[in-house]
Structures are given as structure tokens and as C-alpha cells.
């Protein structure tokens, strides 16, 4: 309850700050929508020349993209810690974080949160509804619960991978381009993994399991029985990824000796 109250307090403070600059807020919301729209247009343009992609129809790829947008947007809102190295290690703000009686990772997350990307959740739901209705997708009574579990699993996978990458900063204070590189690689999860080379498919499933963010859980609702096991494993993979990232983070914090060193 203490952590929940702190999160609510930070959220209200963030909203008051953002509402003070409404023009900037509207521009950022518009840019997020434009970015999502460009990716959707890209899929539509591809299918004007290709009737199917390795057996996947246009509506199925749109459905996968819509599902992908939901955990991706939540991740962008709460795990946007690209600047952790420069802000907290190089500039020494980690020293301030460690003086407070609350977990350091929680502080970094709430200080870095941006609620504007959550608009992508609405966009993703709209896209899924549109494509799902055209595909004739039918839901059982338990499917909404599975949907929430799979979305949370996708968020934990994204968060776990990038928290783990940010934790590297505790061992080296030099700037690195590994996070943008991995971020670009994560975009492969917007599309079915069976269209890629087996090596890329292996990496997306077992090493950097971004396939569990988009295509595998979406395949469950598209009734792709060959991927049912992977779909059901999405929450489990998410918990494992985030648990391991917290372990790495805690070990890095114990190693940290302050900005002066």
C-alpha cells in the first residue's frame, strides 16, 4: 500500500506538471499517434503488393500490431529509462536515490514515467477490434482475463529486458548504444516470427523474448493452435524476465560506490 500511495502521488504531480504546458502535451500526443499511424500505413502499403505474407493475411498482421501496441505503450509509459546511465550514474543522481527509504528501481521508474504513450493502449484496442471483427474472432468468457495476463506478461518482458540493460551502467559508466540497438530489434515482434530466418526466430523466442510481446499472445486469439504453448507461456516468461532483471539491478546497486568514484 505504501508503494501504491507513492505511485498515485507521483502520478498526480506528473499530471499537474504536464497540464501546465497543454500545447506541449497535445503535440506529444499527436506525435505518438502519428508514429503509430505510420507503422499501420506501412503494413497496409505492403499488402497492396503482397496478398499474403507466408500465409498471414493483412487483417491478421494488423491484429498482431494492435496487440503489440498495448504492452509496448505501457512499457513506454513506465520503463522509459534510456537515459539512466547519463542521468543517474554520470551525473550522480543515483546518490540521491539511495538516500530514500524506498526501492531504487521503483524510484527510477516513477521519476522517468511518461503517461502520454498510454494513448497507444486505446489505439491498440481499436485496431484489434477492427481487425478482429473482420476476421470473425470470437472470445470465450475467460479470454479477457487471459488478455490482461498476456499484456502484463509482455510489459514485464519489455521492462525486464531494458531494466537489465540499464543495470549494465553499474559496471561501466561509459555511454553505450546497446539499448537503442535492442529497441530496434524489438520491433521484429510486430510481425509473425515464422517469416524470419530461424536464427532470428530463436533469438526472439529464447534470448530476447520479444516475440512474447506481440505475435505469440496475439496468435492465441487468432486461433493459431501451433503456437498455443508459447501463447500460454507469455505471463511466465514475463515474470522470469523481470525477476532476473531485478536481481541484476540489486547486485549492481550493491556494487555502486557513488558518483565520485
Q: What is the DSSP string of 144-194?
A: HHHHHHHHHHHHHHHHHHHHHHHHGGGT--S--SHHHHHHHHHGGGGS-GG
Residues in CB range of 63: below 8 A, 6 or more apart = 127, 128, 131, 132, 135, 137, 218, 221, 222
Which has the closest alpha carbon to 112: 138, 136, 92, 93? 93
Distance in angstroms (rounded) separating the CA atoms of residues 242 and 153: 9
Answer yes or no: are the C-beta atoms of 158 and 241 closer than 8 Å. no
pLDDT band of 146, cuts 50, 70, 90? very high
Q: Kindly tell me if the per-residue pLDDT of 128 is higher than 60.
A: yes
pLDDT single digits (tens) 72-115:
989 988 888 878 888 888 888 888 898 888 899 999 998 888 88
Q: Kindly tell me if the per-residue pLDDT of 199 is higher than 80.
A: yes
Rounded average pLDDT over 175-197: 79
Which has the closest alpha carbon to 207: 219, 215, 199? 199
The better pLDDT of the pair 164, 23 is held by 164
In terms of Cβ atoms closer than 10 Å to its own Cβ (0-12, 13-18, 19+), residue 198 is exposed
Q: Kindly tell me if the per-residue pLDDT of 163 is higher than 60.
A: yes
Q: Kindly tell me if the per-residue pLDDT of 261 is higher than 60.
A: no
The better pLDDT of the pair 45, 8 is held by 8
pLDDT single digits (tens) 202-259:
999 999 999 999 899 999 999 888 889 999 999 999 999 999 999 999 999 998 877 6
Phi and psi based region of residue 80 (left: phi greater than 0; alpha: psi -120 to 50; beta: remaining): beta
Distance in angstroms (rounded) separating the CA atoms of residues 156 and 237: 8
Distance in angstroms (rounded) separating the CA atoms of residues 106 and 103: 5
Q: Which three cell numbers stand for residue 198?
A: 530461424
- pLDDT for position 70: 93
pLDDT band of 46, cuts 50, 70, 90? low
- pLDDT for position 25: 64
Distance in angstroms (rounded) separating the CA atoms of residues 187 and 191: 8
- pLDDT for position 48: 66
Highest mean pLDDT among 47-56, 152-161, 221-230: 152-161
Out of 29-43, 94-108, 165-179, which region has the weakest mean confidence (pLDDT)? 29-43
Alpha helices in the chain (DSSP H): 2-19, 22-49, 58-78, 84, 93-97, 104-112, 119-135, 143-167, 178-186, 198-202, 215-221, 228-232, 234-255
Phi, psi of 139, rounded to the nearest 5 degrees: -110, 140
Q: Which three cell numbers stand for residue 58?
A: 493483412
Q: Which three cell numbers stand for residue 183?
A: 529497441
- pLDDT for position 76: 87
Query: Taking all residues of the chain, what is their mean pLDDT, rounded to a whole number?
Result: 85
Q: How many residues does the chain have?
A: 261
- pLDDT for position 91: 83
Phi, psi of 53, rounded to the nearest 5 degrees: -120, 100
- pLDDT for position 10: 81
Amino acid at each position: 500500500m505504501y508503494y501504491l500511495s507513492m505511485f498515485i502521488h507521483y502520478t498526480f504531480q506528473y499530471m499537474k506538471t504536464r497540464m501546465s504546458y497543454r500545447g506541449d502535451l497535445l503535440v506529444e500526443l499527436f506525435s505518438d499517434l502519428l508514429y503509430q499511424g505510420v507503422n499501420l500505413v506501412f503494413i497496409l502499403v505492403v499488402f497492396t503488393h503482397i496478398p499474403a505474407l507466408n500465409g498471414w493475411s493483412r487483417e491478421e498482421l494488423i491484429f498482431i500490431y494492435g496487440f503489440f501496441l498495448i504492452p509496448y505503450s505501457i512499457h513506454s509509459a513506465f520503463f522509459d529509462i534510456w537515459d539512466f546511465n547519463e542521468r543517474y550514474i554520470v551525473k550522480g543522481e543515483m546518490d540521491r536515490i539511495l538516500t530514500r527509504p524506498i526501492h531504487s528501481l521503483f524510484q527510477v521508474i516513477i521519476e522517468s514515467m511518461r503517461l502520454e504513450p498510454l494513448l497507444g493502449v486505446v489505439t491498440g484496442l481499436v485496431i484489434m477490434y477492427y481487425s478482429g471483427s473482420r476476421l470473425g474472432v470470437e472470445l470465450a468468457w475467460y479470454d479477457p482475463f487471459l488478455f490482461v495476463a498476456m499484456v502484463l506478461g509482455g510489459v514485464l518482458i519489455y521492462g525486464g529486458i531494458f531494466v537489465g540493460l540499464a543495470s549494465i551502467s553499474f559496471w561501466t559508466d561509459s555511454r553505450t548504444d546497446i539499448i537503442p540497438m535492442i529497441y530496434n530489434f524489438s520491433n521484429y515482434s510486430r510481425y509473425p516470427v515464422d517469416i524470419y530466418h530461424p536464427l532470428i526466430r530463436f533469438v526472439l523466442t529464447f534470448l530476447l523474448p520479444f516475440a512474447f510481446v506481440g505475435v505469440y499472445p496475439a496468435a492465441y486469439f487468432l486461433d493459431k493452435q501451433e503456437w498455443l504453448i508459447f501463447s500460454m507461456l507469455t505471463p511466465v516468461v514475463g515474470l522470469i524476465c523481470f525477476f532476473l532483471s531485478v536481481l541484476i539491478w540489486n547486485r549492481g546497486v550493491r556494487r555502486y560506490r557513488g558518483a565520485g568514484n
